[in-house]
Amino acid sequence: MLDFGCGAKPYQHLFDVKEYIGLDMENPGHPHLTEEVDVFYDGKTIPFEAHRFDYALASEVLEHVFEPDRILGELHRVLKPGGLVLFTVPFVWNEHEMPYDYARYSQGGFAALLERNGFEVVRSSKTNGYTATWLQMGILGWYQMWETRNKFLNLALGLILLAPLNLLAAVLIAFFPGSNSWYCNTVFLAKATKNAGAI
């Protein structure tokens, strides 16, 4: 399995595979000082032979890719025909890891991008609805107002200042979920077809 844009590999424990390889690129917006990246790449060419992987994961990373068609073509190349890839892509989120934050994707827009690059969308689903997204962005904005460089202080302040807001948000979401036309991100399960599309 290839974890594309792996960072700290937070999801590795969820997958039961014989080999799990984390791939990332050097990025001053996201230092990898405490992360276990297996392979670094140049941001253009994935340094593995064709049809190397059965599975891939790309979670919250495509917004940091300036040429998504090129990278999706590379992911298609290194996956075996019929190989599965799990993508998550943001639709509503704040700018982060600047200046390497390039895009946001609607559910339909990313599905079209996948299909154009030789993937078949097996399943896709939006996370959160209108109310949850609105509240999450408000809580994030509040957090960023007092966030410090000390992670332990941030944790303590978060318990004091954010926990009550999150509990209130859970109640509001239960009673007023709102539509799903405004949402945080989309999760896609896609399959690599035998022939890539118009790359």
E strand segments, 16-165: 21-24, 39-40, 53-59, 79-90, 119-127
Q: Report, as an integer, the average pLDDT of 53-58.
A: 98
> What is the value of pTM for the model shown?
0.87
Q: Is 57 exposed, middle or buried (0-12, 13-18, 19+ CB in 10 A)?
A: buried
The more confidently predicted of residues 32 and 69 is 69
User: Domain spanning 2-128+184-192: which superfamily?
Assistant: Vaccinia Virus protein VP39 (3.40.50.150)
Mean pLDDT, all residues of the chain: 92
Output the pLDDT for position 161: 87
As a whole number of angstroms, the distance between CA 187 and CA 88 comes to: 4
Q: Can you say whether the dihedral through the CA atoms of 36, 38, 41, 46 is positive or negative? A: negative
Helix (H) or strand (E) holding 195: none
pLDDT band at 97 (very low <50, low <70, confident <90, very high): confident
Contact partners, residue 103, CB within 8 Å, separation at least 6: 62, 63, 65, 68
